[in-house]
A and B are shown apart, each in its own frame.
Chain A
Amino acid sequence: GIQVEQSPPDLILQEGANSTLRCNFSDSVNNLQWFHQNPWGQLINLFYIPSGTKQNGRLSATTVATERYSLLYISSSQTTDSGVYFCAHGQGSQGNLIFGKGTKLSVKP
């Protein structure tokens, strides 16, 4: 199956800074989700983005399926952005998600 690699594994930012998180795949993908796991463990859907670019407030995401990567941009970061960010690819007709190991983001005030 497709392998998912995320980088960087850890990221520390000062409040107000911008950042880019990356997700690489071992083969081309046709569906992709980004999640934010908050400190209580809840996985929050950020984007379902099989291709192209989407924006939601300070967050945006771009997937280039043929080049096997996706990027998550966070602008003007806030302390509430802290947590772990996961990308995941849905495989097969059953749609089982294959997750990367995540990027742990810490935003300092």
Chain B
Amino acid sequence: DGGITQSPKYLFRKEGQNVTLSCEQNLNHDAMYWYRQDPGQGLRLIYYSQIVNDFQKGDIAEGYSVSREKKESFPLTVTSAQKNPTAFYLCASRRGLSYEQYFGPGTRLTVT
């Protein structure tokens, strides 16, 4: 079954701790994205990667970091520098020549 998986589904952390969210895809898509969603809002772009070993900041990258060592994987680290990390995080991927993006099921992060 082709698709995008994110883990864990729910994540709880104490303030001051870094946490890494996993995103894996087996669609053979080149581009991958991380978005953040706050209650009652649309999604906002955190980071994106067009190819392996390359990634770019999105609109709200401060306090986040990513890596793209493999085509299938695009993990997101939420660092202690992120002031309001509690949110719903969604990963997406896209085929090379199409604008159509496909989303994973999301990770709900709560930091207290």
Contacts and interface: CB of A to CB of B under 8 A. Distances in A.
Contact of B99 (A35, A42, A48, A100): A48
A68 interface: no
Nearest to B90: A43
A42 B106 contact: yes
B77 interface: no
Nearest to B101: A97
Interface residues of A, number: 22
Contacts of A73: none
B2 interface: no
Contact of B33 (A33, A35, A50, A96): A96
A40 to B, nearest CB: 7
A41 B33 contact: no
Interface string A28-51: 000101010000111101001010
B100 A33 contact: yes
Contact of B45 (A33, A40, A96): A96
Interface of A: 4, 31, 33, 35, 40-43, 45, 48, 50, 86, 88, 90, 94-97, 99-102
Given A31-B99, A95-B101, A96-B45, 8 more contacts: A33-B101, A41-B37, A41-B88, A42-B103, A48-B98, A88-B42, A96-B58, A99-B43
Interface of B: 31, 33, 35, 37, 40-45, 48, 50, 56, 58, 88, 90, 92, 94, 98-103, 105-106, 108
